[in-house]
Amino acid sequence: MEYNNQNNYTTNPSYEYDNETVAPEQAQNLKALLCEEVIFKSFLFMVGALLITACAALTISPYIAIRLLSGVNFYILIAAELGIVFASNWALRKNNTILAGVLFTAYSYLTGVTLSIIFMVFTTASIVAIFATTAVVFAIMAIYGMVTKKDLSSIGNLCLMGLIGIILVGVVNIFFLKSTMLDTAISAIGVLIFVGLTAYDTQKIKKMVAVSNNQNVNSLALYGAFELYLDFINLFLKLLNLLGKRK
């Protein structure tokens, strides 16, 4: 789902809001309020999704998770998550926030189920410490993305290309090379990529306000929340694999 920032509301002679045309000055104030609302709801929805994921990970037995990730069940689960992502994008394009919210909740829960196996690999103290570290790093980069005047589009594009690269290398390493050193390198590069994506996606939420109105605020916020949620989860996993203390 893409929202293109093609119009600058500060240069428009008028602005359509709630089926009424308002003056440029009032339009600018309304855009500022919408920006705050979209950003606030994006982080609110993201935190809610993280809580769902954490509850699922803490309550689901790791042994059940292993069964779900074994054999054909693994491919079914992957297909289900991909299906949820596509369905969620479709719902957001249609401005169906209820369906998109339900799908986001389902995705968050499934992610928590799969993440429950980390308690079999890493110590609980290590998981908590890495989660706290992730939260701090994420917060710093999110704040930077909100306050910086620099356009982060080039950094975002570079990070996206790097993400595709480490995914491809990771798949090759899992099935063929099985190199621990390469896996560590992928995690280190992945940390840098998701640190950059956190700032980029936060700034992108601000840019999406250019196509926002009082009718699609929740859709934009859900889209932003999904992006930030994925950044946080992946940053956490890369840091955990890189720095986590194994049992």
Q: Is the pLDDT of residue 3 over 70?
A: no
Q: What is the Cα–Cα distance from 19 to 147, expressed in whole angstroms? A: 31
Q: Residue 233's closest CA among 47, 61, 38, 44? A: 47
Please provide the average confidence, as pLDDT, over all residues in the chain.
87
What confidence tens digit (pLDDT) does each residue in 109-163 have? 999 988 999 999 999 999 999 999 999 999 999 999 999 999 999 999 999 999 9
pLDDT of residue 77: 85
pLDDT of residue 24: 61
126 CB-contact burial (10 Å; exposed 0-12 / middle 13-18 / buried 19+): middle
Strands (E), the chain: 15-17, 20-22
User: Long-range contacts made by residues 92-101, C-beta under 8 angstroms, separation at least 24?
Assistant: 92/1, 92/219, 92/222, 92/223, 93/1, 95/215, 95/216, 95/219, 96/219, 97/218, 97/219, 97/222, 100/219, 100/222, 101/45, 101/222
pLDDT of residue 45: 97
How sure is the predictor about 74, in pLDDT bands with cuts at 50, 70 and 90? confident
Find out whether 201 and 21 touch, Cβ atoms under 8 Å.
Answer: no
**Residue 125 CB contacts under 8 Å (≥ 6 apart), including other chains:** 245
Percent of the chain with pLDDT over 70: 89
Q: Is the pLDDT of residue 70 over 90?
A: no
Torsion angle, alpha carbons of 237, 239, 245, 247, to 10:
10
Q: Is the pLDDT of residue 18 over 80?
A: no
What confidence tens digit (pLDDT) does each residue in 192-244 have? 999 999 999 999 998 887 767 778 889 999 999 999 999 999 999 999 999 99
Q: What is the identity of the amino acid at 206?
A: K
Find out whether 232 and 114 touch, Cβ atoms under 8 Å.
Answer: no
pLDDT of residue 23: 57
What confidence tens digit (pLDDT) does each residue in 175-206 have? 898 899 999 999 999 999 999 999 999 999 98
Beta bridge partners of 165: none
Coil, helix or strand for 16? strand
DSSP type of residue 173: I
In SS3 terms, 42-99 reads as: HHHHHHHHHHHHHHHHHHCCHHHHHHHCCCHHHHHHHHHHHHHHHHHHHHHHCCCHHH
Whole-structure pTM value: 0.87
